[in-house]
Amino acid sequence: MIEMQDVWKEYENGVTALSGVSVRIPQGSFVYVVGPSGAGKSTFIKLMYRQERPTKGHIFVGGFNIERLRESQIPIMRRHVGVVFQDYKLLQQLTVAENIAFALEVIEASRRTIQKRVQEVLELVGLEDKRNMLPRELSGGEQQRVAIARALVNKPKVVVADEPTGNLDPDNSWAILKLLERVNDRGTTIVMATHNRELVNACKKRVIAIENGRISRDEERGDYGYED
Ligand SMILES: Nc1ncnc2c1ncn2[C@@H]1O[C@H](COP(=O)(O)OP(=O)(O)OP(=O)(O)O)[C@@H](O)[C@H]1O
């Protein structure tokens, strides 16, 4: 379950990115977050994993009171909230398997657990044969699949994705959406900010539209609804 109660975000430069956002996203949902450029989508996502803190309001994600978390609790929360970025953010000097294992090594999982989990998520994203390659040896779509595997390795309850298909062609975008749907089928909540009208309109899900820092539309099986 994700819940925001009257959340406001004003950045230090005085820009108000979110103005009184309240929303409930039940566990197991798949939600698209859409809206014009600069509307506040990334801010909405960043607040969910404490990349940013709200100026006001309450945020609960997977049982964590996000705005109240102490610094020392943030790594614990991040095991339950996987994050996927538009530009993948893989560590360039590490192999595919090492990038994925990294998230488990920092929590001092046993070698056996690490090997087993890395293998499981590599199979899920279909990249067992690329496990010893470096990110630069992979296509964009493959890199994003590695990033998704990394986000999943701790079995999070929630995955937030900020324009995960933003750098990909239509075929790879489609493959990433299908992969996120499979993850969702296993009970993981997915919140995906996107400008990809084709995907939103083809695979109908809940659509939360943000405009000018406010939720302007919230529909089950909604449309993308913008001409951009
Ligand atoms: N770190 C920051 N410091 C100051 N202002 C910021 C910061 N991040 C975002 N903003 C501002 O907050 C507003 C919302 O930005 P945000 O990135 O959330 O929008 P967005 O809907 O994700 O846009 P896009 O679709 O272009 O990615 C914009 O006016 C932006 O300039």
Condensed to tens digits (0 to 9), the pLDDT of residues 32-79 reads: 999 999 999 999 999 999 999 999 999 999 899 999 999 999 988 998
Regarding the beta carbon of 164 and ligand 1, being less than 6 Å apart is answered: no
Say if 38 falls within a structural domain. Answer: yes
166 with 202, same domain: the answer is yes
8 with 33, same domain: the answer is yes
65 with 101, same domain: the answer is no
167 with 151, same domain: the answer is no
| Nearest Cα residue to 183 out of 225, 206, 223, 154 | 154
Regarding the beta carbon of 13 and ligand 1, being less than 6 Å apart is answered: yes
Regarding the beta carbon of 228 and ligand 1, being less than 6 Å apart is answered: no
Single residue among 140, 155, 170 that ends a domain in this structure: 155
151 with 218, same domain: the answer is no
Say if 86 falls within a structural domain. Answer: no
Single residue among 112, 134, 155 that ends a domain in this structure: 155
Say if 87 falls within a structural domain. Answer: no
Tokens of 41: 């989508």
**61: containing domain:** 1-80+157-228
130 with 171, same domain: the answer is no
Distance 42 CA to ligand 1 centre (A): 7
Say if 216 falls within a structural domain. Answer: yes
Residues of the chain where predicted confidence (pLDDT) is lower than 50? none
72 with 171, same domain: the answer is yes
Residue 68: the pLDDT is 93
96 with 143, same domain: the answer is yes
| Nearest Cα residue to 10 out of 73, 55, 65, 52 | 55
Say if 182 falls within a structural domain. Answer: yes
Single residue among 155, 171, 197 that ends a domain in this structure: 155
Regarding the beta carbon of 35 and ligand 1, being less than 6 Å apart is answered: yes
Residue ranges in the chain assigned as alpha helix (H): 41-48, 74-78, 96-105, 111-125, 140-152, 170-185, 197-202
Q: Helices 140-152 and 111-125 sit at what angle, rounded to 10 degrees? A: 140
- Domain count of the fold of the chain: 2
Residue 38: the pLDDT is 96
ipTM for the complex? 0.97
Residue 228: the pLDDT is 57
